[in-house]
Structure formats: structure tokens, C-alpha cells
Amino acid sequence: MLILILTISAAQLHAQTPTAQSQAERIDRHYNALHSLSVHFTQKYDGMGMHRQESGTLLLKKPGKMRWTYNQPAGKLFVLDGDNAYFYSPGDMEIPRVTAKKLDDLRSPLRFLLGHTQLAKELTNLQINPAENGAFTLSGIPKNMEQRIASFTLTASAAGVIQSMRIEETDGAINLFTFSDEQPNAPATDADFVFHAPAGTHIIEGMPPV
């Protein structure tokens, strides 16, 4: 009887413990059900002799649209209109434009949220570890970014809501994004993702800045 009880308890515990696959699917279900999303973000960057912290609001709209509006520093903007990405900082006279297919930017791992998410297929060597307050971390390497990213960790709640994203590059630079105040299906129109170059600036073909 004792052996039977222990066996049942072990089976129940195993059933209640999320696997990397099940937690990835939970995140998939959460974001695949959304048409748009608004969330506050904070970005901390350490690398190349720089240490900076920035923050603002991220707005997503399916398919393929993303807008990062910064309040620190005020006026900074990143827009992905579905075809091209634009990077603007106050004072810039030239604004780099990069096609979405060639986008190699630290924000790009979040692009899996812009379509039909299959997180387990987006990350190689997927692993899971428990985090605080019932959350879990998933780690792996985003496909097609192996030459740039050494490690990628996503922390999400038990319900599948992403709380943070940590990216370590192969050169040792570390980017940490934290997210809060998520608003599922927030108001978002196509006009929100049209980039308007400020007066006196011009758009150039280029690569995204760090």
C-alpha cells in the first residue's frame, strides 16, 4: 500500500511539473490567441564598454508589426511595419531602414509573437527551470541567430505571460528586457506602424544599431 501511495504521489507530482515543451505550448496558446498587444518594457544593456537603461511601451499587431516607443530616452523610436524596420534617435539625420527578412536586431527574438507562435521550433536545445513566484524560464538559441547569440532565456508566468527576456551575445554583451502591464488585444491600427521621418532627416539603407 505504501509503495502504491508513493507511486501515485510521484506520478501526480510529475504530471504537475511543467516540461519545456508544455510550458512552450502554454506561451504559444496565450500569444496565438491575441491580435495585438501593448506592454511596458525596460531594457538594460551591458557590453562594448556601455551600460545603459531604457524604457517605454511596446505595441504589437499581427501579422508582423511592432512599435517600440521610448520615454527614456524620450523620442527614440523603433518601428517594424511588416516589411521594413526603422531606427530613430533624436538628433539623428540619417535613419537606417532594414528589410524585415534581414533584421538582425536584439528585438528580433520577439518576432515569434507576431505570427503563429511555435516556440519549441523557434529555439534549439530548449530547456526549462523554475523561477520565482511560480514562473518558469525557458532557454535555448533562436534559430538563424546562432552566430550572434550565445544564450537566450525567456521567463514566463505559469499562465504563459512573458515577463522577461535575457540575451547574451557571443561577444559577451548582455541585453535584459523586462515586461509589465501587459494589455492583450490593445487598440492598434495599421497607421500606428507607419514610420514618418522627422523634418530634415532622410532614410538610408543600413544595418540596425546596437
What are the residue ranges spanned by the domains of the chain? 19-205
For the segment(s) 19-205, the CATH number from 2.50.20.10, 3.40.50.880, 3.30.1050.10, 3.30.70.360 is 2.50.20.10
Nearest residue to 65 via CA among 96, 38, 90: 38
Share the mean pLDDT of the chain.
Answer: 85
Q: How confident is the model over 145-170, as a mean pLDDT? A: 91
For residue 172 the three cell numbers come to 559577451
pLDDT digit string, tens, across residues 96-113: 998 887 775 555 556 667
pLDDT of 12 higher than 50: no
pLDDT digit string, tens, across residues 64-101: 899 999 999 999 999 999 899 999 999 999 999 988 87
Question: If you search the block for the grid coordinates 515569434, which residue do you land on?
Answer: 112
The model carries a pTM of 0.82
